[in-house]
Amino acid sequence: MILKNHATPETGSIQAPVPSSGVKPSDFRGEMKKRLELLLETFVPATFDALEPLLTAPSGLAFYEFERSIFQSAITLSAQTVVVFLCILHSHTSWPVTIAANARLQRPSLIHKGMRITPVRLLDGSLVQLKTPYLIEPPEDGKDRKVGQRGESGAGSYPVLEALGIQHKATPMLRSEVAQTSVRSAYFEEAQEVLANRGCSLSLKVVQRLDQAVAIEATEQQDTRLDAADANIRYSDEFAGQRLLIGVDGGRARIRIPF
């Protein structure tokens, strides 16, 4: 039992449904409720379809298949709920416009290039094509580039997605799940298999890319904290006056070398 998620066989991506225009903040919950009810209209009948084999011939294996089917459908439902949220959020222009404006205030050199479609990978491994504000640094040579062409200074940014913690084309929870699973696994192939058993289907390349991206971010945060400590900068006083004991178990430490 798999919910229909508008996935295309060629790309495995989801085309985000077009949200109603002009959604006001006061109507946000109502719009979410209406969309979720539509999703549940698919989820409930599919649940009973998966139940039929179990009722016909009850067994441990049949119950396992039923349980597994419900689990996979719930993961898909959660991913579609995120899609609904992102669509409604962007259909109400106030918040995305404010976030983009704040980003330009912090970095005045940024140029607003309007709305651009970019993929976002969800917790079940599927992709949603989302239209969101896009900002870039001005080209060093002064020449404007077409979509898909990148200058030496690098790519632009999607401030609304970044504000939501969506980085490396993946949601925060997906990145966390991939990183934690990779750390606990002996090989990336094992991590990929474990994630698939949890209802998250990813290619080996994506697992490696997300894991290494999180590792780089963690290293940068560590370096920032060390620099702050050297400069006697404190982020909190929660351990003031206390003696701390820090232990490290090297038995689980691993070194990842990218291909």
The answer to whether the beta carbons of residues 204 and 192 sit under 8 Å apart is yes
- The strand pair at 127-136 and 111-121 is best described as antiparallel
pLDDT in tens, 134-162: 999 887 655 555 555 554 444 689 999 99
Reported pTM: 0.75
pLDDT in tens, 160-207: 999 999 999 999 999 999 999 999 998 999 999 999 999 999 999 999
Give the closest residue to 34 by CA, choosing from 72, 94, 97, 91.
Answer: 91
Domain ranges within the chain, ordered by starting residue: 95-142+150-163, 167-233
The widest CA-to-CA distance across the chain, in whole angstroms, is 71
Alpha helices in the chain (DSSP H): 28-56, 60-91, 94-106, 159-163, 172-184, 188-197, 204-230
| Angle ∠(206,209,213) on CA atoms, nearest 5 | 140
